[in-house]
Structure 1
Amino acid sequence: MDAALLHSVDDGVATVVISHPAKRNAMTAAMWRALPELLDALSADRAVRVLVLTGDGLTFCAGADISSLAGKEDPQALAVLAEEALAAFPKPTIAAIRGFCVGGGSQLAAACDLRFAEEGSSFGVTPARLGIVYPASSTRRLVSLVGPATAKYLLYSAELIGAEHALRAGFLDELLPAGQLERRVAEFARILTTRSQLTQAAAKEFADGRTGRDAHWAAEAAASGDTAEGVAAFLERRTPAFTWTAGG
C-alpha cells in the first residue's frame, strides 16, 4: 500500500494516521514534508479542538524509511521540521500508541502534549545504530519528559524499552490494557473538547517554557468573558459555553 498521512475530523477531534503498512508505518521523505502543511490546515480549522496522532494497524511508527531518504535532502532536517510543527500545534495533541514507537516515531510522540499507549508497545530512540547525531531540540524535548539519565540510556544504547518502563520513566501518561486504547483516547479527547480552549492554549505555552506572554493571556482572559461564563456555569450546575477559540 502507498505511504500516506490520512486524516479525518469528527466532533472536534482531528485524527492523523501514519500509514505505511509495508514498513511498519515508517515515515518517508514525502510524509515528513507533508506533515507540517497538514498541521497548518488543521490548526486553522476552528472545528478542530484536539488532535490525535496514531499509526495504521498495530504499529505507531517504526521511524524513518531510510530507503526513501538516501541521497535526498537532509533527513534529520525534515524530521525536525515535522516535529517542531507538531510541538507548535496550538491545540492539545495526543499520541495514541500501539506496537513499535521507535526513532522518528518516538520523535513525533515526544512532540505531542500527551502520550497514551497500549500494553506491549515498545519504545526506542535509535540514532546510535546509524551514527547519527540526534538533534539538540529533540534531545532537549526527550530530557524534559524522561530526565537526563533515561535520555542518555536511550540515546547511548539505542535499545528498546517496554511500555511499563516508558510509563515509569515519564514518557507515557497512560498505559492501557490491550483493546482499550482507542476507546480511552476517544473518551479523553472528548473531555478536552468540552474544556476551555483559552485555558488550554495558555497552559500549553507556559508548560512549554514560552515566556513574556503573561500580559497577553491576562488580556485574552479579560476580553473573552470565559472566566465569568465558567463561574456562572459552575454555580448554575450546567455545561459552560466557552467562546474563546485558538486563532481568534
Structure 2
Amino acid sequence: MSVRLEKNGAIARLVLDRPEARNAINMDMWRAFPGLIANAVSDRSIRVLELRAAEGSGAFCAGADIKELLANKDDMDWRDANQAEINRVQHELARAAIPTVAFVDGDCVGGGCGLALACDIRVATKRARFGITPGKLGLVYPLHDVKLLVDLVGPGQAKRILFTGQLLDAAEAQRIGLIEIIADQTDELIEDILAASTYSAIENKHFVRRVLDGQVDDDNHTLRMFGAAFTREDFEEGTRAFVEKRKPSFRG
C-alpha cells in the first residue's frame, strides 16, 4: 500500500510512500485514507495525527496520479467515484477529532496541497514548494479544497494560486498564510501540543471549525461546552499547576 499509518506513543503518522511516482495519489490511496484516519482518531492513546512523506520520497506529494486520470478520463463512473473519494478524505481529515499537522518537505502540489490544507497546522522545510495546478490542465479544483484555501490565504491570494498554478517557495507560502512554520522537523510543535490539554485542543478545534463554517454567535452547544470545561480534571490540574508554578501534567 502506498499510504500507511504508523503509531509511536501518543503520535500517529499518515505516511505517503510511493516514491516512484513522487507520492502522486491514486484511487487506491484515496480509498485507504478514511480507514487509516478513523484508526488513528478512535485510538484513545493517540493525541496528534501527523501527515508526512516517507523518507527519501523526493517530494511530499506530486498531486493526483495524472496517468491514472488520463486512463479513465472518458469513464464518467470512475471520475465520479474518484471525486467522491477525494471529497470524503478531505472532509474527514479536516474534521478529524484530534489535532493534525502536515509536515511538508519537497513539492506539495494539487491534491497533495489539498491534504496539507485539510490539516490544522502546516510545517514546511525551506525546500518545500506549494502549488495548485488544475489551471495548467484545464481542470477545476474541488470546492471543499477551494474553501480550505480561501480560509487560509483569503480570496485574492487563493485566486492568484488557482489562476496561475505557480509554485510558491516556503517563505512566500508562510508570508501569505498558506503554512504556519518553516522548520526541518515537527518535534517541538508536537511536544508543545502534547504538553497542553488535549481536551482543550479538541474542543477549540471544534469551535474553530464552527467559525470557518459560518457560525458567529454562541449557541446552546458551545455555551454548554464552555461551561463544562470548568468541571473537568484538566481545569483542576491546569489551575493547580499555575498556582504551584509548575508545568501541568494532563492525562490526555
Query: Do the aligned residues in 1 keep the contact of 2:50 with 2:101 (CA within 8 Å)?
Result: yes
Aligned-pair CA distance for 1:147: 1.0
Q: Which amino acid aligns with 1:63?
A: G
SS at match of 2:38: helix
Determine the C-alpha separation between the residues in 1 that align with 2:34 and 2:227. Answer: 30
Aligned-pair CA distance for 1:219: 4.6
Deviations 1:185-239 (A, max 9, x none): 0221122112111211121122223544313312531442321221001212333
TM-score by length of 1: 0.89
Determine the C-alpha separation between the residues in 2 that align with 1:65 and 1:223. Answer: 49
SS at match of 2:24: coil
1:21 is aligned to 2:19: yes
1:45 is aligned to 2:8: no
Query: Do the aligned residues in 1 keep the contact of 2:4 with 2:36 (CA within 8 Å)?
Result: no
Query: Do the aligned residues in 2 keep the contact of 1:143 with 1:151 (CA within 8 Å)?
Result: yes
The number of equivalent residue pairs is 236
SS at match of 2:23: coil
SS at match of 2:204: helix
Q: Which moved more, 1:60-69 or 1:26-35?
A: 60-69
Question: 1:65 maps to what in 2?
Answer: 65
1:151 is aligned to 2:149: no
Question: 2:93 maps to what in 1?
Answer: 86
Deviations 1:74-126 (A, max 9, x none): 33332221111110111111100011100001100000000000102111111
Q: Which amino acid aligns with 2:45?
A: A
Determine the C-alpha separation between the residues in 1 that align with 2:49 and 2:63. Answer: 20
Query: Do the aligned residues in 2 keep the contact of 1:13 with 1:193 (CA within 8 Å)?
Result: no
Aligned-pair CA distance for 1:144: 0.9
Q: Which amino acid aligns with 1:111?
A: A
Could you list the runs of 5+ residues in structure 2 that have no partner in the other structure?
none
2:113 paired residue among 88, 106, 109: 106
Determine the C-alpha separation between the residues in 2 that align with 1:21 and 1:50. Answer: 25
Question: What is the Cα-based RMSD across aligned positions, in Å?
Answer: 1.7
SS at match of 2:210: coil
Query: Do the aligned residues in 2 keep the contact of 1:13 with 1:190 (CA within 8 Å)?
Result: no
1:162 is aligned to 2:169: yes
**Aligned pairs (5 A) from 1:206-221:** 206-210=207-211, 211=215, 212=219, 213-221=221-229
Deviations 1:109-156 (A, max 9, x none): 000000000102111111112222222221111011111111001111
Question: 2:233 maps to what in 1?
Answer: 225
TM-score by length of 2: 0.88
Query: Do the aligned residues in 2 keep the contact of 1:62 with 1:100 (CA within 8 Å)?
Result: yes
Determine the C-alpha separation between the residues in 1 that align with 2:151 and 2:226. Answer: 27
Q: Which amino acid aligns with 2:67?
A: S
SS at match of 1:209: helix
Could you list the runs of 5+ residues in structure 1 that have no partner in the other structure?
none
